[in-house]
Amino acid sequence: MAKNVYIFLADGFEDIEGLAVVDLMRRAGIRITTVSIMDKKEVVTSHHIALLADSLFDETDFSDADMLVLPGGMPGTKYLGEYESLARLLTQFDQKGGKIGAICAAPTVLASLGLLEGKKATAYPSCMDGLKGAEKSLEKVVTDGNITTSRGLGTAVDFALSLIEQLLGKEKADEIAESVVYTR
């Protein structure tokens, strides 16, 4: 049975952090849906690349979600953190033990909702102070319970492979790494 992942995009998200996750998960056979929290499907990355999200937040049913993912980047992370409907979804998903991933500045969104309280987590170096309540780590990727966090663009492939491993197993993650000539 295919796994369903939703990744939330806002103007100013970090290109590689979002698209590496989408690319590698799709290669693994995971149904990943890009969801715009803007009022339009066109989202402009932090490096001014326009792309079309698969759906708009208000038009998306998340009931089949196996994982929710937040890319970092500015001002994208700021917009994600201010979007109340996303905050409610993340909180409810966490309460059910649903898997959540966040990279770069985006772990601060989870911290602001209290989702990192007492958990080990990481973030972009200048965002580490925003991990209130978390046990801060300098590891590339940290999974504590149902939440996975990562440091930034340079760790995006490791982050994506970790998420794949959680959903489909180490063998599939290793297969995808090998297929893109990535050494874990």
Residue 106 lies inside a defined structural domain of this protein: yes
Structure token digits, residue 29: 């056979």
Residue 91 burial (CB count, 10 A): 13
**184 located within any domain:** no
> Which tokens is 81 given?
């953190």
Mean pLDDT of the chain: 97
Give DSSP secondary structure letters for 164-179. HHHHH-HHHHHHHHHH
Task: Please answer whether residues 12 and 79 qualify as being in contact, where contact means their C-beta atoms are separated by less than 8 angstroms.
Answer: yes
Dihedral in degrees, nearest 10, Cα atoms 116, 121, 126, 129: 40
Q: Sort strands 99-103 and 120-121 into parallel, antiparallel or unpaired.
A: unpaired
Task: Encode pLDDT of 138-155 as tens digits.
Answer: 999 999 999 999 999 999
Asked whether residue 154 is assigned to any structural domain, the reply reads yes
The answer to whether position 182 is within a domain reads: no
Looking at the domain assignment, is residue 179 inside a domain?
no
Q: State the CATH number of the domain containing residue 53.
A: 3.40.50.880
Percent of the chain beyond pLDDT 70? Answer: 100
* Residue 1: band (very low, low, confident or very high) from pLDDT cuts 50, 70, 90: confident
Q: What is the number of other CB atoms lying within 10 angstroms of the CB of residue 95?
A: 9
Give the per-residue pLDDT at 43. 98
Does the residue 183 lie in any domain? no
The verdict on residue 108 lying in a domain is yes
Region of 45 please: left (phi>0), alpha (psi -120 to 50) or beta. Answer: beta
Model confidence pTM above 0.85: yes
DSSP classification of residue 134: S
Q: How far apart are CA 18 and CA 2, in angstroms?
A: 21
104 given a catalytic annotation: yes
Q: Is pLDDT of 184 > 90?
A: no
| Structural domain contains residue 181 | no
The C-alpha atoms of residue 59 and residue 72 are separated, in whole angstroms, by: 23
Spot the catalytic one: 7, 9, 104, 109. 104
- Contact, 130 vs 111, CB < 8 A? yes
The domain tally of the chain equals: 1
**Whole domain around residue 152: which residue ranges?**
4-173
